[in-house]
Chain A
Amino acid sequence: MKLSTALNRENRGIVATVLGIVILLPLGASIVGFVFSGRSEVPDVFLERADPRWETCVQAPEYMRFYHMDFLKEVREDVVRRGIKGGVTLSGCGDCHRNRNQFCDRCHDAASVILDCYGCHFYPETDAERVAGEG
Chain B
Amino acid sequence: MDRRDFIRRSGTLLAGASGALSLPVLSSCTSEVVDAQSLLAGKRMGMVIDLTKCPSDCTACLDACRHENNVAFHDDARWDVHWIRKVNIRPKEEGEGHEEKTVLLMCNHCDDPPCAQVCPVQATYKREDGIVLVDHHRCIGCRYCMIACPYNARFFNYKESEEWPNKDYPKRSHGVAESCNFCAHLVDQGKQPACVQACREAGAGALTFGDLNDSQSEIAGLVAESSVKRIREDWGTEPKVYYIGL
Question: Which of B24, B31, B133, B171 is A70 in contact with, Cβ under 8 Å?
Answer: B24
Q: How far is the CB of B21 from chain A (nearest CB, A)?
A: 11
B4 x A86 contact (CB < 8 A): yes
B125 CB–A CB distance under 8 Å: yes
A62 CB–B CB distance under 8 Å: yes
Query: Count the B residues whose beta carbon is within 8 Å of the partner chain — how many?
Result: 37
Task: Take A78-B34, A120-B172 as given contacts and tell me if A71 and B127 are in contact as well, using a CB distance cutoff of 8 Å.
Answer: no
Chain B residues within an 8 Å CB radius of A74: 7, 27, 30
B164 x A131 contact (CB < 8 A): yes
Task: Take A66-B15, A83-B127 as given contacts and tell me if A71 and B7 are in contact as well, using a CB distance cutoff of 8 Å.
Answer: yes
Contact with B along A90-108 (1 / 0, CB 8 A): 0100000000000000000
Secondary structure type dominating chain A contacts:
helix
A12 CB–B CB distance under 8 Å: no
B171 x A120 contact (CB < 8 A): yes
Closest to A65 in B: B15
Contact with B along A48-82 (1 / 0, CB 8 A): 00000000000110110011001101101111111
Could you give 7 example pairs across A and B, Cβ below 8 Å? Answer: A62-B15, A70-B20, A80-B137, A83-B38, A83-B128, A84-B39, A122-B167
Please give the residue numbers on chain A whose beta carbons come within 8 Å of chain B beta carbons, in ascending order. Answer: 59-60, 62-63, 66-67, 70-71, 73-74, 76-86, 91, 119-122, 127, 131
Please give the residue numbers on chain B whose beta carbons come within 8 Å of chain A beta carbons, in ascending order. Answer: 4, 7-8, 11-12, 15, 20, 23-24, 27, 30-31, 34-35, 38-40, 125, 127-129, 133, 135-137, 164, 167-168, 170-173, 184-185, 187-189
